[in-house]
Structure formats: C-alpha cells, structure tokens
Chains A and B, each alone.
Chain A
C-alpha cells in the first residue's frame, strides 16, 4: 500500500534506532568521565522498562490489543527469579527458562480467554487478570506477601556473577533490550506481523481472505508476555527485591502511557516513551513529592492535543492511519 514510503521510513527508523542504541552504549563511558553513578543506575531502570514497553507496543501498537494487565508479566518474571533465589537457585540456565515458561503459560491461558472478547471487554478482562496476579502475590505469605521478597544477590551464569558489577550489568540489560527490539522488528516485518496489522485495520477483510486472526493474536500476546517477563527478571536483579507493587494496575497503566507517549505503532517510540516517562517522573518528583498532581493533567493534555506521541511530533512515522 505504502511501499515507497515504508522503505524510506524503515531506513530513517533504522538510523534513529542506531542513534538511540549508540547513546545507550556510550552512556556509561560519559557517566564515568563525569563521575556520576546515579545516571547509570537510572538508565538501567529506563532500559528495563523499555523492554516491557517494547513488548507492550508489539501487541498494543501493532495489534491494537489494549492490554491493561501487562505489569503482571513484569511481576511474574520478577517473582520467578525471586522465588528461585529464595530456594538457593541462582543460575540463569534455570531461572531464564522458568521465567519464560511461567510468563508464556500465564499469557497463553489468560490470553486464550481474553482474546475471545473485544474492545472494552478486553481492556477490563486483562485488567482483572492483572489484579488476580497481584492479589495472588500479596497472599504468598511464604514469599513475603505484601512486604515483598528481598534477594540476597543476583542471577549468576555458571557460578560467575556478570550482574554483580554495575557496568557489566548495564551492558547485559542493553543487550537484552537490543535483542528484544530486533526480535520485535523482525516480527513486525514478517508475514505474522502483517497479519496482526491487518487484523487491526479490518478483521473482516482478513477473514475474507481466509485468515483467522485469533491464533496470531494469541501468539503475539504470548511472545509479548515472555518479553515482559524478561524485563521483570532484570528488574528483580536491579532492585535485588521483588514486590507485588511491580504488578499493580497503576504500573500497567504507566506502561500504556510509555507506549503512547512514544508514539503508538512505533517500537523505537516505546523505548523513547519509556525513557521520557521515567525522566519526566524523576524531574517532576524533584519539584514536588506530589509529582502525579502535575503528571495527571499533563497526560490528559497529551491525549487531548498531542496525538502521535513523541515520534509523531518528530515526524518519524508514528501512526499513519
């Protein structure tokens, strides 16, 4: 449909992506030169949430599935790592498969039910399943319940601890972000991704050419859940702490805000959006502890007047429908 445009758009997006990742890669060097360690910790957080935002962007931006329970996967991933650690299992060869399996399974079961519905029902059901995960976590009294679970260390690789050192932890998270981003881009560019987009535009036409979008949606939902689970596992390592608060529905809302802030339909936008959200939160909370008092109206104004998000404002595509 927009062949010439999209090929130009891809190269521009590609350049922008290289710029963003180069900036991430050089940041610790610059921080070391300035002697600033806070910014490295802060950017680790940014990249972790960027992974979650990219995963949400995959289903929300590409497939128009407004999942309001995406934080559940952050929490599930974090709890999988935390609970294994509580039982003395630290190695990534165990914890990573467990994280991906748990999140994939939860996504498969809840997605299979939620995706039977549309529109507002889907929003409310994903929200409800997210709350279910949240309340289950708060009632896990053996693993801290409401108070959460402290981890006395970080995930290891065959006895080594690459996450123990701040800089190497930083680059591990960056590598994860890059991997998730590239995977998501591959998915979007594939036939699978085109079916998702097609289902967003017109499900009826898609059915008319003989494609049932349901299995595609479910597969995308499961992949996104696993990606967010990875983010959760990294989050648990970054904080060395696991808490039900990771799964609160406010967190799910914030993830949606990140995706929309960056520009719906743009994977790179999700990364930019996550960074902007966290930077804005940080800056506003320096002005007042009641930063939400400022952020709430800002969000309303963005919705009412700033359609297309940051990438839309910069004119790099965003949504073109």
Chain B
C-alpha cells in the first residue's frame, strides 16, 4: 500500500466522483424541481457515449464528436421529455418508475439493434493522450486529469448558474417550494424544460467523457445510475452542493475500497479468506455508508426541500 498507489487510487476515485456528479446533478435537480424520478437518466449517459462514437465516425475528430454528441444528447432528451416524461409529472412515483423503466428497456435494446451488443470505444484526442509525471514514480494519463478538470469546471459553472443567476434562483426556489413558485407566476413547466435539458446534457457529457476510458456498451448507464441514486440520497435530493460532495465521497470510498479492502482484510484474516471477503466488503462499502448517513439524517446531508 505505497504512497504512489494511494495517490493513483485517489485520483481514480476523484475521476469516478466527477462522472457521478455530472449524472447526479441533473437527476437531483429534476427530482428537486418536479419531484420526478427518472430512471432513464442513466440511459442518457449511455446515449451520450454512443452518439460520440457515431459522431466520431462522421467527423474523425474528438472535439467534433463532443459538440455533435452534446447537441444530439440534448435533442434526444428533449424528445423523450415531449413524448413520455411530460405526461408523468402529475403521476405518482410508481407510475414514473414504471414508465421510465420502459424507456430503459427500449433504449438499452435499441442501441443493441443500432450499434450491436459488442463493446465499442472512442479514441482519445491527440492533445490529451499520453501521461505526465505527477510525482516521483507516478505517471498519470493526461486525459484522466483533463476529465477531472472538466468536471470541476462544470461544477463551478453550475455553482455560478444556480447561485448567481435569475434562472438559478428560480431553480432553487422551485426545489424548495414548487407550488409557491408556480403561484408567483413563474412558468414552472418551462423552467423544468430548461432544467431537464441541462441535466440531460450533463449526463450526455459524462458519457462522452467516459467513452475513451471505459467501454461503450448497452446498459453501461445502469450501474452509474444506481451509484448516482446513492449519491443523491447521501447528498440530499435537490441539492447541487450535496450532490457534489456526496459524489466525491462515493467515488473515493468505492475506488479506495476496491483498491485496498483485500489488503486490509489480510491484516486480520488468512490470505485466502481475505481474497474472498475483501471484494465482497468493497462492493458493500458505499451502501453501508448510505445506510449510515440515512440512519442519522433521513433526508441526506444537505436537504433542499423545506418541510
């Protein structure tokens, strides 16, 4: 368990945290403003990655693919909103869960039909390929550092948007008391379209960023969606700040847990038992963390909604 390994795992954890934040941010705002549970949010992450692969085939450039895929993700998200989600806002959570589950089934299968079930990949941009020496004996890929940087940039942008602009103020007000915001003459539906489109783009953006370092395959969004749920539950529904902190915590705990649980288990158990127990404990860690947070704060660390 050397310092180098710890540093690498910490960076990997940050990187997972950033991806989770990009997904959780849209999800938590949509929950917060419209009380709408969108299981299909993870599918939008997947679509971002697939669109980027398709756009790369067209343009031959990562940056072109990035722009085209972002536009495509936004377009598809708004289309889904128009066709399905819009009719679900007044329904109970069970209906929302079922209908968005139907969307997941359709789109996960749909990408299989269009692009095949085999994993695809997106080449890294030349500008960001290669590695740099961070400290003695620690070589880290530039792309992953850029990913962390881009995520932090988006987080900063979101912070400014939500806390310094009029639209952001309305979003915050909507998350706290949507009925009152509507009563004050704000078109809450249009506000929601804005939030929803933005959230969709963020999830798509996460998918595009992840495409060069993870495999692009059907169902790739499902696991991240559930991790994003854990993030939101820990952070408190509707809170960007909560989502950001919780995403970093979950990313770090999960990655460091997987990296070191077996080694730590070896201190108290025989090596063979540790090899069995370590991974099992590592995969449970974030859920135990979530259970712990909920036990003491049932509405998460930074609940947005009052009363």
Contact = CB atoms under 8 A, between A and B. Distances in A.
Interface of A: 60, 66, 68, 110, 113, 116-117, 119-121, 123-125, 127-129, 131-132, 135-136, 138-142, 249-250, 253, 256-257, 260, 264, 290, 292-293, 295-300, 302-304
B106 interface: yes
Given A116-B295, A121-B233, A139-B280, A128 B101 contact: no
Interface in B238-289: 275-276, 279-280, 282-284, 287
A3 to B, nearest CB: 27
A119 B284 CA distance: 23
10 contacts: A66-B94, A120-B93, A121-B233, A121-B299, A125-B233, A136-B283, A139-B283, A141-B279, A249-B226, A299-B101
Interface string B101-122: 1111111111011000000000
A292 B280 contact: no
B222 interface: yes
B84 interface: yes
B130 to A, nearest CB: 34
A252 to B, nearest CB: 10
A136 B285 CA distance: 11
B145 interface: no
A113 B294 contact: yes
B18 to A, nearest CB: 21
Contacts of A290: 109, 112-113
B284 A120 contact: no
Contacts of A250: 222
Contacts of B91: 303
B290 interface: yes
B99 interface: yes
Nearest to A264: B94
Given A121-B299, A290-B112, A249 B222 contact: yes
Contacts of B103: 296, 300
Given A123-B93, A131-B226, A304-B88, 11 more contacts: A66-B93, A116-B295, A120-B31, A120-B93, A124-B230, A135-B284, A256-B98, A290-B112, A292-B106, A299-B102, A304-B87
Given A121-B237, A125-B233, A132-B287, A303 B108 contact: no
Per DSSP, chain B at the interface is helix
Interface residues on B, range: 35 or more
A113 B294 CA distance: 8
Contacts of A140: 276, 280
Contacts of A299: 98-99, 101-102, 105
A28 B82 CA distance: 48
Nearest to A113: B291
Given A139-B280, A290-B112, A296-B106, A125 B290 contact: yes
Contact of A128 (B35, B94, B287, B295): B287
Contacts of B97: 66, 68, 123, 253, 256
B229 interface: yes
A68 B93 CA distance: 12
Closest 8 CB pairs of A and B: A296-B106, A299-B102, A296-B105, A135-B283, A139-B279, A292-B109, A132-B287, A300-B102
A138 B295 CA distance: 27
Contacts of A302: 98
B16 to A, nearest CB: 15
Contacts of A66: 93-94, 97
B298 A123 contact: no
A293 B102 contact: no
Contacts of B222: 249-250
A17 B232 CA distance: 43
A292 B105 contact: yes
B238 to A, nearest CB: 11
Given A128-B226, A293-B113, A300-B103, A136 B284 contact: yes
Contacts of A135: 283-284
B295 A113 contact: yes
Contacts of A256: 94, 97-98, 101
Given A290-B112, A293-B106, A299-B105, A260 B229 contact: no
Contacts of B105: 292-293, 295-296, 299
B195 interface: no
A131 B98 CA distance: 18
A131 B112 contact: no
Contacts of B206: none
A131 B42 CA distance: 15
Contact of A303 (B95, B104, B110, B287): B95
Contact of A300 (B31, B99, B276, B283): B99
Name which of B84, B98, B280 has the most chain A CB atoms within 10 A of its CB: B98
Given A113-B295, A303-B102, A141 B284 contact: no
Contact of A260 (B98, B109, B230, B276): B98
A250 B101 CA distance: 9
B37 interface: yes
